Chain A
């Protein structure tokens, strides 16, 4: 069982710059074909400041931390036993290449099902941009298998 005392555990705030090359690589990896994700001129023509950050990429940027799984070790969660259970995003403002985004995460809940065979860990990430504006929030639920 994961110690419930870690509810409220926060990772150190982490800032990451949104890089054009990285966005293009990501767009390619998901099979994207829309030119706004590759070509700045197309992005501008579509009303974006630069290449837009794809809907799910904020999750990836949070993993830019030097060791994105360090808190698994700190909390004693075996990585190979963790599955992604749920993921949600709330978007307040669009983000684009060139933005510097700061991520602050907190474990907000832990619960179990099937008599403890499955544990669920819910982590919230608040994202602000270089102006300090809240741009998005995402919530990740991990499932830890104890079977």
Chain B
């Protein structure tokens, strides 16, 4: 038996024949292994030379697998880091563009709202001024005249004496008659004014109001109403006054012989269409009342369309949301 050089470790009993070449060439025993392996080996209780080779392979494989797993994880995380960084970069690049686009959009919306609000305010102020003017020039003036006539009548009654009683009474009767007529005119003025502010029939719905409008129109109106859902009162009022103004335009400017008025409900909007067989040539930019109408409609995000070639026919349609 030859002892392997430099090895003072006792051979195990019964171990004969050629020395295990592994002892020289290959793997060292657990005692000679690096500390980590030694540690691992001792943990597994594999100190015996016979199990050492297998154990070493197992440990090395485990290390390789673990290393690979760690590497893979590292790559994975690294990949995510790269993806994250790239996404960040992309976002950093795109954000200002999106922000600018969003800002531009919201600025435009704000601008639109400011414009339509200014129009609403102007419109309301103009309406009030018109009402005040109508009152001042109409009923109020009528009533002043009535008071003048009654004042004169009173004066004549007070100044009447036996001599000219009859003559005075005739004059008083004339004055009272004139005052009576003036008061009636004033009442009619007030009625028209009140009606112009809010037609009572509008309380019964847009359909009823349009039918009252059609009945009053000087040109025969064919009315088609299909309103399954009732718009909110503000929308009904706008729709009514727009339709009224459009019908007035037809009577004044179109020389039409008949008009069709159609009011229908869409999923979330009400559409009113007014068509006439008149001379045409109407346009929103034509300086007439259509531009004002379009503005009023735009205040509730509605829209007005006009199709009116020279020679006619004219079709004006507007859409309003069902609820303002």
Does A associate with B in a complex?
no
> Could you tell me which B residues sit within 8 Å of A by CB distance?
none
